[in-house]
């Protein structure tokens, strides 16, 4: 779209929030949609070919980790929020819609995308367990939460200091 590489501008993050700061809403929406598809499509395909939910969920985890730590960018990727949303929407759409709703409410109230993501994905393992009573998948989703929290460590520092944009 003719804009600077988001990995070299703003927060140096390739995600939709940074793209919006650099290139505007249209570019950010395309980035968000593309990143969501990274999680959605592999899980959707896996669900057609695999019977065990654990293997389908592991496919989503692999897509999420691949987004966060891509080989082709020397393991320096995004924070994984949109990819994780795509993953959970394809894996268990009810849990996904609840997480998206929590994200939207927190983002609207506090005007902080990072805080909204952290709160929504901290809730995810508990939401999934409440709906499905499956500890194995809930633990896998907890891993997503921990990785996402780690990827947001600078945002967390800025939130604590009151400096998060």
What is the predicted pLDDT for the residue at 6? 78
- The pLDDT > 90 percentage for the chain reads 76
* Cα–Cα nearest to 86, from 42, 128, 150: 42
Place of tokens 């927190």: 106
What is the predicted pLDDT for the residue at 133? 97
HSE-CB of 31 using CA atoms within 13 angstroms: 26
What is the predicted pLDDT for the residue at 22? 84
> pTM for this structure?
0.91
Residue 2 pLDDT greater than 80, yes or no: no
In this structure, the number of other CB atoms found within 10 A of the CB of residue 21 comes to: 15
**Ranges of each domain in the chain:** 11-161
Please provide the average confidence, as pLDDT, over all residues in the chain: 93
155 is written with which tokens?
């945002």
Which residue did the predictor score with more confidence, 128 or 5?
Answer: 128
Q: What are phi and psi of 93, to 5 degrees?
A: -60, -30
Task: Kindly report the length of the chain.
Answer: 165
CA distance 101 to 14: 24
24 is written with which tokens?
């505007």
Q: Any residues with CB less than 8 A from the CB of 144 and at least 6 apart, and which?
A: 61, 64, 80, 84, 87, 121, 124
Residue 159 pLDDT greater than 80, yes or no: yes
Residue 104 pLDDT greater than 80, yes or no: yes
CA distance 107 to 161: 18
Residue 28 pLDDT greater than 90, yes or no: no
Over the stretch 46-92, which tens digit does the pLDDT of each residue have?
Answer: 999 999 999 999 999 999 999 999 998 888 888 999 999 999 999 99
* Cα–Cα nearest to 43, from 89, 10, 77: 89
């Amino acid at each position: 779209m003719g804009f600077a590489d988001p990995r070299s501008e703003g927060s140096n993050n390739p995600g939709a929030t940074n793209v919006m700061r650099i290139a505007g809403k249209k570019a950010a929406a395309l980035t968000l949609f593309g990143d969501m598809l990274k999680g959605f499509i592999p899980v959707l395909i896996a669900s057609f070919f695999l019977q065990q939910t654990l293997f389908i969920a592991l496919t989503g985890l692999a897509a999420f980790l691949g987004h966060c730590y891509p080989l082709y960018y020397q393991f320096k990727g995004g924070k994984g929020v949109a990819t994780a949303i795509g993953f959970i929407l394809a894996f268990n759409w009810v849990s996904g819609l609840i997480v998206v709703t929590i994200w939207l409410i927190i983002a609207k109230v506090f005007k902080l995308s990072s805080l909204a993501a952290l709160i929504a994905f901290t809730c995810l393992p508990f939401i999934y367990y409440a709906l499905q009573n499956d500890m194995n998948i809930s633990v896998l989703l907890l891993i997503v939460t921990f990785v996402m929290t780690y990827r947001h460590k600078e945002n967390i520092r800025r939130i604590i200091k009151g400096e998060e944009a």
